[in-house]
Amino acid sequence: MSLMDLTAVELGKKIKEGSVGVREAVKDCLKQIRAKEAKTNAFITQADETGVLKRADEVQKAVDSGELTGPLAGVPFAVKDNMCTKGILTTCASKILSNFVPHYSATAVEKLEKAGAIIAGKTNMDEFAMGSTSETSYYGPVKNPWDTDRVPGGSSGGSAAAVAASEVSFALGSDTGGSIRQPAAYCGVTGFKPTYGTVSRYGLIAYASSLEQIGPVAKDVTDCAAVLEVISSYDSKDSTSFNRGVPDFISALDGDVKGLRIGIPKDYFTDDLDPEVNAAVLAAADRMKDMGALAEFFDLSLVEYAVPAYYIIASAEASSNLSRFDGVKYGYRAGDYEGLHQMYKRTRSEGFGEEVKRRIMLGSFALSSGYYDAYYLKALRTKALIKQAFDKAFEKYDVIIGPVAPVTAPKLGGSLSDPIKMYLGDIYTVAANLAGLPGISLPCGRDSNGLPIGLQIMGDCFNERSVLKAAFAFEQTRKQEKSPLACGKEAEV
């Protein structure tokens, strides 16, 4: 048993009571990372031990003096490597940012540090968050702690693997089309994507700005709520940030779902859905019915249009956002070129990986003169229809539940050869990004290979509380399961 097997809130409580020291907690965290990294490759950068211990002592003092009283004070966490961290290498898992050390931190990271949480490292991911397997990283693929021959999902695969392997207490991820929820499902942990505008995107290296949100990847629903309360805030540095007042999420965790109206989209349960995932998700709905919730099937409609609309919008925004990587201000610059334009082109061609280039090309085309209406605007009109379909559904239901992904974690190396097949794996998650909705992924069972199955619960915009309430109530009906790498066998070295 390691301190990293505890939930973040449990560990924070022990630190507050004085039964565990902050130094002890972070030392254990660094020890777990060292012991397990060879198996998971969940981290790109591990925090410098001297700096972390110094920070631990500062936090300990503030805890002792009563200055820091929050639930996460002294708890070590990991940050997906697409969020800027002052003085710590931030690569986006790309060669083009392989030497970038930001001089400021993302607002969400800053908020956690202010609350006394301590950065243990930066997690591996798909390059620029483009991918569903965490295999497109310049720093090599992440492995799933349940079976290291399998992918952890993506793009926040390093964050999910680090939490599942008990390398850290919790992590931050980002979700553009399912990048928190899907890896959480594959790794048997809990991940939350907040309503668009809830968490500041300042310092998050942009991929598709209109779709993405930062959120927690954690051991349970309570940890997700605790982290969300810290990172949710209005931020004038993000012009899409929404002022929601003082966040109050933890109080929604009362276990009471009597009368909660649950909608289950009939059109999610097709032949493309793995039968074991199908059964586990429907069994979860039955459990919630047993607890007094009202659940019924309904037609959501437009399900098959979400993925194509998503890939046009995300690629279009990516082609624009990634134009800043030109070898002038930061990052990699090609060594051999003639003149400015060749420098730009060579830098980008050598610096970006294949999937990133694929999306920049598609996005550049979708925004180009003559095709803008037919592709980009068409996708935005589809997005409007999808939003309407959800608005209609939420007139009848408090939450919508369904699968997170059509399958459990696939084997490493099998997905990248057929991009469209990989993109189709996002069918249940992208809609929440298109419609701005909050969504959680939490474990609801295991398949016959012993791999975790995720349950997705979505709510209407700004209705995180219903999502958390439903998720917490369901979580109470299950025993928490730990991955083989978490169980401490590897850590006793």
Contact criterion met (CB below 8 Å) for 96 and 325: yes
- Reference 138, options 186, 192, 97; nearest CA is 97
Q: Which residue is catalytic, options 155, 169, 232, 441?
A: 155
Contact criterion met (CB below 8 Å) for 366 and 358: no
Residues 300, 456: Cα–Cα separation, whole Å? 15
> Does the annotation count 387 as an active-site position?
no
Three-state SS annotation for 13-24: HHHHHCCCCHHH
* Terminal C-alpha separation, the chain: 12
Q: Are strands 261-265 and 399-403 parallel, antiparallel or unpaired?
A: parallel
**Shorter beta-carbon distance to other proteins: residue 375 or 474:** 375
**Shorter beta-carbon distance to other proteins: residue 278 or 321:** 321
- Which contiguous run of DSSP H or E holds residue 173? strand 170-175
Stretch that binds other proteins, among 117-125, 174-182, 263-271, 366-374 (CB under 8 A): 366-374
- x-or-dash pattern for other proteins, window 310-339, by CB under 8 A? -xx------x---x--xxxxxxxx---xxx
Considering the complex, what minimum distance in angstroms separates the CB of residue 103 from other proteins? 4
Q: Which residue is catalytic, options 36, 80, 383, 469?
A: 80
> Does 435 sit near other proteins (CB under 8 A)?
yes
Q: Site residues for other proteins, window 143-202 (CB under 8 A)?
A: 195-197
**Shorter beta-carbon distance to other proteins: residue 256 or 267:** 267
Stretch that binds other proteins, among 59-67, 221-229, 279-287, 369-377 (CB under 8 A): 369-377
> Does the annotation count 289 as an active-site position?
no
> Does 344 sit near other proteins (CB under 8 A)?
yes
**Shorter beta-carbon distance to other proteins: residue 283 or 374:** 374
Axis crossing angle, helix 22-40 with helix 49-64, rounded to the nearest 10: 140
> Does the annotation count 105 as an active-site position?
no
> Does 474 sit near other proteins (CB under 8 A)?
no
Residues 409, 148: Cα–Cα separation, whole Å? 10
Q: Site residues for other proteins, window 397-426 (CB under 8 A)?
A: 419-420, 423
Q: Site residues for other proteins, window 221-250 (CB under 8 A)?
A: 236, 239-240, 242
Among 21, 247, 308, 414, binds other proteins (CB under 8 A): 308
Contact criterion met (CB below 8 Å) for 218 and 224: yes
> Does 458 sit near other proteins (CB under 8 A)?
no
The conformation of residue 46, written as its DSSP 8-state character, comes to: E
Both tokens assigned to 380: 């935005």
> Does 438 sit near other proteins (CB under 8 A)?
no
Query: Is the preceding omega at residue 415 within 30 degrees of 0, hence cis?
Result: no
What Å distances lie between residue 25 and 6, 159, 196, 424, 432, CA to CA?
Answer: 11, 19, 33, 41, 36
**Shorter beta-carbon distance to other proteins: residue 281 or 389:** 389
Both tokens assigned to 477: 């009906």
**Shorter beta-carbon distance to other proteins: residue 387 or 465:** 387
Stretch that binds other proteins, among 26-34, 111-119, 214-222, 356-364 (CB under 8 A): 356-364
> Does 283 sit near other proteins (CB under 8 A)?
no
Beta bridge partners of 358: none
Q: Site residues for other proteins, window 64-123 (CB under 8 A)?
A: 99-103
**Residues taking part in catalysis:** 80, 155, 179
